[in-house]
Chains A and B, each alone.
Chain A
Amino acid sequence: MLKIRVIPVLFLMNGLIVRSEGFAKFQIIGNPIDELERYSHWLADELVYVDITREGGHDIRREDHRVKSAGDDILAILRQIARSCFMPLTFGGRINSLEQVDAFIRNGADKVLINTAAHRNPALVTEVAETHGSQAMVAGIDVKRIDGAPVVHIDQGRTAVADGLADYARRLESLGAGEILVNSIDRDGAAEGYDLAALRIVAEAVSIPVVACGGVGGFGDFCEAVDEAGASAVAAGNVFHFTEHSYKRAKRTMRNRGLAVRYPYPS
């Protein structure tokens, strides 16, 4: 039986892992290589790394000198992670070209996550799917509520897109995306649960797997994304960083609610 995937998401900024809140506030929480060891040890189902470094923006390394940055060379970070990552690995953020995608895949990523470029250059989605297979092409949708309605945003939440959420998702699927990760800007770091209504709109619009992201506060939120919104996989960042034994406890909560999860632990 196919399992509901539970996916830790790690946000990279200037070679450091950060906690993100509302796509606007960031706090250093670790080094990408150390974090990989933690999640490998936890037998995570899959990992997503998203580089949210802002070109020409504030360098978060100035804020803390205790945590060692893995540096600015994202491919070098990826190579080091891939060497001991025996689970599916998605890399995303700041991708604009097929050449970048080729480099990520060649250096050990299994999939790429593309968000803004999927809107600005839709042909890229098709090129990635044709070159590397649609399973390698994860399309990201960032949603922000405006007057209560879910609106697609790009440019790390700074620019609204005119298309409706369902149409936007369907177009990504027809362009060749193999999976869609839906993140909520309002819920990011808020620990109030996923934006279930937005998730449901996407899950009903497409027939490819939909990954829920953004807003998890408790393990019950994972179950809701599956039961109430039709997500195929659930992703989260903060809850795994800041809650003790959180990954295994999340799986146990889901299993106790009757959801099929992978549970390679001694009960």
Chain B
Amino acid sequence: MIAVVGYGMGNVQSVVNALDHIGAPNAVTEDPRALSKADRILLPGVGAFRRAMERLEKTGFAAALRAGAAAGTPILGICLGMQLLATTGTEFGETPGLGLVPGRVERIPAGEAWRLPHMGWNDLDLRRDDPLLAGLDGQGDTACYFVHSYHLVPDDEGAISATCDYGTPVTATISAGSVYGAQFHPEKSQAVGLAILANFAAL
């Protein structure tokens, strides 16, 4: 059972629809205690870092996610959910994150010619083997749907498993132990995205 963290940040229904479609048992939960019983945790989210962290702290999900990571439960953060895994967010001032992946969330250093948000389909450039990305290498089209202005810059560059190019390399996926993140929306990235969700469900 994948526990989908329901903390009021974004379109959770899309994630549920995609998990249902691939036949991965899941349940949206608003109760942080449910995370200790889940065998996988999915943290979705769109919106602002600070507001999301406030909600995670206030609801008790932040502590439950840290406990889940310590117990080795696979966690997948999507979009803002991935950024929240970092130590620090920098939008509207510095905000402590969940601290599950040492690093900072920085504005994409795109030049003048590059509009922000970075919005649309962009190719994944695979940096190393990663179970989340199994089967994508050499599959031709690997474009996924991104929409964001900030990205996670991990202290250990080795945590990055894929990037995409937006005038500068943008962090697309990360993994550190049992903690995974996807900056794009796999639930909105058709076959490639559904394959990534299936990989997570099979970890």
Give the B-binding residues of A (Cβ under 8 A).
Answer: 1-5, 43, 45-46, 82-89, 105-110, 130-136, 178-179, 207-209, 232-233, 262-264
B10 touches A3 (CB 8 A): no
Q: Which residue of A lies closest to B186 (CB)?
A: A86
> Cα distance A131–B10 when bound, in Å?
9
Give the number of A-B contacts (CB < 8 Å). 106
A208 touches B122 (CB 8 A): no
Q: Is B11 an interface residue (CB 8 A)?
A: yes
> Cα distance A2–B143 when bound, in Å?
9
Q: Which residue of A lies closest to B141 (CB)?
A: A264
List the A side residues contacting B190 at CB < 8 Å: 43, 86-87, 264
12 A-B pairs besides A82-B13, A264-B190 with CB distance below 8 A are A45-B120, A46-B145, A82-B14, A84-B17, A86-B17, A86-B21, A86-B187, A88-B147, A132-B47, A136-B46, A232-B115, A262-B141
Q: Is B18 an interface residue (CB 8 A)?
A: yes
> Cα distance A45–B189 when bound, in Å?
9
> Cα distance A64–B47 when bound, in Å?
43
A262 touches B14 (CB 8 A): no
A2 touches B121 (CB 8 A): yes
CB distance from B93 to the nearest CB of A (A): 16
List the B side residues contacting A179 at CB < 8 Å: 119
B117 touches A178 (CB 8 A): yes
Q: Which residue of A lies closest to B165 (CB)?
A: A1
List the A side residues contacting B148 at CB < 8 Å: 135
A132 touches B17 (CB 8 A): no
Q: Which residue of B lies closest to A108 (CB)?
A: B13
Pairs of residues from A and B, 6 with the lowest C-beta to C-beta distance, nearest first: A264-B141, A135-B147, A133-B47, A3-B121, A262-B121, A133-B46
List the A side residues contacting B188 at CB < 8 Å: 86-89, 110
Q: Is B193 an interface residue (CB 8 A)?
A: yes
Q: Which of B18, B119, B122 is close to A135, meaning CB atoms less than 8 Å apart? A: B119
CB distance from B29 to the nearest CB of A (A): 16
For chain B, residues 41 to 62, give those with C-beta under 8 angstroms from any C-beta of chain A.
46-48
A86 touches B18 (CB 8 A): yes
> Cα distance A133–B8 when bound, in Å?
12
Q: Which residue of B lies closest to A78 (CB)?
A: B13
| Interface class of chain B by DSSP | mixed
List the B side residues contacting A1 at CB < 8 Å: 122-123, 165
Given A133-B46, A262-B121, is A86 in contact with B189 using a C-beta cutoff of 8 Å?
yes
> Cα distance A42–B124 when bound, in Å?
21
Q: Is B116 an interface residue (CB 8 A)?
A: yes
Q: Which residue of A lies closest to B147 (CB)?
A: A135
Q: Which residue of A lies closest to B119 (CB)?
A: A209
B194 touches A86 (CB 8 A): yes
> Cα distance A126–B73 when bound, in Å?
38
Q: Is B185 an interface residue (CB 8 A)?
A: yes
CB distance from A25 to the nearest CB of B (A): 32
> Cα distance A106–B115 when bound, in Å?
28
CB distance from A135 to the nearest CB of B (A): 4
List the A side residues contacting B21 at CB < 8 Å: 84, 86
> Cα distance A5–B46 when bound, in Å?
21
- A108, A133, A208 pick with most chain B CB within 10 angstroms: A133
List the B side residues contacting A46 at CB < 8 Å: 145
List the B side residues contacting A208 at CB < 8 Å: 115-117
A207 touches B120 (CB 8 A): no
List the A side residues contacting B48 at CB < 8 Å: 130, 133
Interface 1/0s, chain B 181-198, versus A by CB < 8 A? Answer: 000010111110110000
Q: Which of B118, B121, B123, B166 is close to A5, meaning CB atoms less than 8 Å apart? A: B121
List the A side residues contacting B185 at CB < 8 Å: 88, 110
Q: Which of A88, A135, A233, A264 is close to B117, meaning CB atoms less than 8 Å apart? A: A135
